A and B are shown apart, each in its own frame.
Chain A
Amino acid sequence: MTGHPFKALIVDDATTVRMYHRSLVEEAGWATVEAENGVEAMEKVLDQPVDLMFVDVNMPIMDGYAFIKTARASEKVGQIPIVMISTEAQKIDRDKAFEAGANHYLVKPASPQDIANLLTLLSPEDPS
């Protein structure tokens, strides 16, 4: 890893969950940006491009589905891979995530090992 770590955006309205994910992501050597809802997430990601986004489903103001759709419609940030994280484990929920445009779906709470593996697999090419 170089001096410029990869960066992940973590979008979740629950502070505890955000803190949990942040600690796991940072443990893997990534930098993090956090947002509490879709609108804030959009602002953050337009301000500073990230390499990966973790998005919760149920949030006030703008939920995860709406956020993903908005992000995908953006020229600037539409291509960033998105992983949706939700408490619901049913197929219909997965399908809804893919319809919105998510690249992957994890069931909450994701184990530390899952997150670590996911980050290993989804690391972008090192710019150095």
Chain B
Amino acid sequence: MNSLLDQFVSECRDLIETSSRALLALETDTENPAQINELFRAIHTIKGASGLFDFKPLTSCVHAGEDLLDAVRAGDVAFNSGIADLLLEMLDRLVEWLDSIEDSETLPSDAQEISAALSTRLRDYISDGAGVNDADDTSQQTEVAAPWPDDIPVLEGAETGLSLITYTPGETTFFAGGDPLRTVLAAPGLLWMQVVQPDDWPDVDQLDPFMLKIGFRLVSSATVPDLEKHFSYDIDDVSIERIAATDGPSAIEQLADDILQSQAALLATPQTGVAAENIQKSAADVVARVGRNLNVSDDAVGDLDATIADVRGEPAGNDPAPVDKPQVAEPEKQPAAAPAKQRSSGYLRVDSDRIDALMNLAGELIVAKNAMPFLARKAENIEDGRELVREIKMQHNTINRIAEELQAAIMQIRMVPVGSVLSRFNRLVRDMSRKLGKDIRYVVDGEDTEADKAIVDELSDPIVHLIRNSIDHGIEDPTERAEADKPKQGTIRVSAFNKDDSVVIEITDDGKGIAVDKVVKKALERGLIDAERVNAMSANEKLQLIFLPGLSTKEEVSDLSGRGVGMDVVASMVRRLGGQISIDSEPGLGARVTLSLPLSMAVQQLMMVEVGDGLYGVPVDSVVESQKISPVSIRRHRDAEMVLLRDRLIPLVRMRDLFQCDAQDDPETLSVMVVDVNGHESGLVVDRFHPGVDAIVKPMSGVLANYDCYSGTALLGDGSILLALNLREIVECQYH
């Protein structure tokens, strides 16, 4: 696809997004002029840009939308939900067409038909709304006249210029003895003719065959005066427009003529002060440029000057500019050696693949840098190697700093506001709540909160499910809400904010909340948990059971949220992104789901631990502390082992058991790494602690992707591979 078309598609998609947002805002605040303007401008821009390509059905349908919005803007038509629906339908269609353009550079074959139908429906609103002042018939005519030269076939005679005639005889023409068809066919220089049907054909039983409903469009090679003479009896019903020849040597002369006439028109406008002076100088400059570039003699330019002076009501030959420069103003002097400073815009649109490539390189640099401590250690063994060790360490520090800055700079490029994703769901809430007969307001807070593009792109799916759940299961019917003494309109609020090194997204609704006992009952029924464990849980812990795979509290499957998208699916999506999910609910008052996601999926700091013969990475963020404990301090409760650390009872996970290695033979001390998973601390019993390392953790693919115990792999400086642990799974494994 060529780059202009590419640009068009991407810009249109942005504008469609803007338009939908404005449309939805307008539904709650129908007379907000800022929103109407924004909407109008977006649609206007789409129309303008589409004119650069041969997508006539798209252009004409958007044009109809623009006209409707113009009428809304002018106050001729009142905005209502019907208009909103229709415009949204148009936007949906545009999205479809853009997809097709992206795939095949053409519109679908039915586009013409659909566009015509949509345009008619859009224009119906204009005529309905403006019914009162429909007497303004001429504007209607010019509206139709503007786009129609596009339908004309290539005609002979085009090199000398053509006249376009729109002829709309009055309804009573036949009674006045007129014969429009004969008049048309006898028009001088007739090249092409088309019958124009009115938009508002009456029904057949109301049709009066004696009333003339149709009009004509003609193309003629004759000049305007000749045509005016021919149509002199019907001149009020005729509009004639001259179009210049499309190319050939006369085109530039025609343009020169147009430009010179423009200068006359410009100088004829009332102007004052500095502007008046500047305008005169610029017009004089334009005249001089045109004169020089057309290679006409100074006399001719003099004549033009005279014409201009004439228009201004000044005696010819007088200086048109009342300043000290007597002659035509000189064009602004070019700075002799202007440096080639050509920054065209402050922004750069870059393919995200290129940034990803840069990011991967930075990642490799960071990994490569990790090799330096290994080198330093090697150097220590060399005789007199101390100086070398010192130098390597210094270099390591420098490279470390640069690599970190480089990485931070690239991350900054990748940061995008989450708002673009969040505001997208306006439409979803609207459509779905309508379908369910609910009244729901969608509010977004903290749209400006930024996160890595990769995270933001992946956010959409889990949030869609959560919002759907809120609409479907959370918010009650208006009647139910009224009975519960709640405002009729429910609210779903999505708030985004930064907390430490993560971005937090809360989805809150003021619906009926979640019944903990139902969740527990389901979990027990399905055998997902045993009664004893449940009894030991706090109310909030019980609520988190909703994330267990296979648990859905809704009795029947709804066609909207469906059974496939249980909370467990959402939870696993979030965890795949390295995030955490939790839920709060106050029965009767609503529920809140909190997603906490890393700002970036890129480099992670990992603590390394050794278990058996393997090295494993634990995200530093999750590590609370590392402790050596004596085996005798371990307390046992049934199968579970625990240790008391500073008044906290911490359950232990024996990593050797988990990885099915032989147990260590009676060590004197145990190494315990205390980690925090979703606010719960657990102690991982490992063989040994190792230093921390910066690594790019890449998710595992293929067969290995099924090993939930690992979040991914990372390459170490010495070329070995580190498995990063998925703590959540490991802690849960222990329970099951």
Contacts and interface: CB of A to CB of B under 8 A. Distances in A.
Given A73-B275, A121-B259, A124-B332, A16 B342 contact: no
A121 B290 contact: yes
Contacts of B332: 49, 51, 79-80, 124
A101 to B, nearest CB: 5
Interface string B266-278: 1011010111011
Contact of B52 (A16, A31, A56, A120): A16
B444 to A, nearest CB: 22
Contact of B266 (A32, A101, A118): A101
Interface centre among A19, A78, A82, A103 (most CB of B within 10 A): A103
A121 B47 CA distance: 29
Given A16-B7, A34-B345, A101-B275, A121 B331 contact: no
Which bucket holds chain B's interface residue count?
35 or more
B285 A72 contact: no
Nearest to A82: B282
A99 B256 CA distance: 21
B443 interface: no
Contacts of B720: none
A33 to B, nearest CB: 7
B424 to A, nearest CB: 21
A117 B274 contact: no
B360 interface: no
A114 B255 CA distance: 8
Given A81-B285, A127-B334, 6 more contacts: A4-B337, A16-B8, A19-B4, A51-B332, A78-B282, A113-B247
Given A4-B338, A121-B294, A89 B275 contact: no
B51 A87 contact: yes
B141 to A, nearest CB: 11
6 contacts: A14-B45, A59-B41, A69-B275, A74-B278, A82-B282, A103-B259
Given A17-B52, A117-B251, A121-B256, A104 B262 contact: yes
B41 A58 contact: yes
Contacts of A121: 252, 255-256, 259, 289-290, 293-294
B344 interface: yes
A123 B60 CA distance: 35
Nearest to B259: A104
Which bucket holds chain A's interface residue count?
35 or more
B318 interface: no
Contact of A120 (B281, B293, B336): B293
B132 interface: no
A16 B49 CA distance: 6
Contact of B293 (A59, A79, A123, A127): A123
Nearest to A56: B48
Interface in B311-350: 329-338, 341-342, 344-345
Nearest to B271: A101
B15 to A, nearest CB: 8
A113 B293 CA distance: 16
A124 B331 contact: yes
Contacts of B401: none
Closest 6 CB pairs of A and B: A78-B278, A124-B331, A72-B275, A16-B49, A79-B281, A109-B51
B279 interface: yes
